[in-house]
Amino acid sequence: MTSKPVPQADVAEAGVPQEDAARNRDVSSAALGYLGAIVLGPVIPVGVYVFRSKRSPFLRYHAAAAVNLSLTAALYALCCLILGGLLALDSITVALLVALPVAVAIWASMLRYLIRGLCAASRGEEYQVPDWICAHIVS
């Protein structure tokens, strides 16, 4: 009637198997990469990619996706600044009327895909960002 004790190597501190605990850490790190991209741009996703991407293919995939999305958004923002600067040489009003809606549209579309990636990472799934919106800079 006595049950066999579970070996300590198979159980983490909270009574969760180590595979599940490692998977939860990977999911949390992937979600942190997406949240960091929303708040600070490419800074946090690059950190997650550099320091934690070797842990699992799941984490590497999501870290690379967050880095790619945030770097692509930064490149789009740079292009929008160049466009606004060139238009400002003629008229500030024209520059604001053209560059601001373009910048807001780019920001909204990147935010949409970052949130979708965040939700997929939180569920432990992969999410493929469309190629037309995201440059594949790291893999």
Provide the whole-model pTM. Answer: 0.79
Question: Would you say residue 50 lies in a domain?
Answer: yes
Contact 124, 135 (CB under 8 A): no
Cα 55 to chain centroid distance, Å, stands at: 17
Number of domains in the chain: 1
Question: Would you say residue 63 lies in a domain?
Answer: yes
DSSP-derived letter for residue 128 is: P
Cα 89 to chain centroid distance, Å, stands at: 35
Question: Would you say residue 68 lies in a domain?
Answer: yes
Contact 34, 123 (CB under 8 A): no
The boundaries of the domain holding residue 37 are: 17-123
Question: Would you say residue 88 lies in a domain?
Answer: yes
| Cα-trace Rg, the chain | 21
Which residues sit opposite 86 in a β-bridge?
Answer: none
Question: Would you say residue 137 lies in a domain?
Answer: no
Q: How confident is the model at residue 98 (pLDDT cuts 50, 70, 90)?
A: very high
Question: Would you say residue 7 lies in a domain?
Answer: no
Percent of the chain at pLDDT > 90 equals 58
Gap between the Cα atoms of 105 and 103, Å rounded: 5
Over residues 21-65, the pLDDT tens digits come to 778 888 989 999 999 998 888 999 999 999 988 888 999 999 999
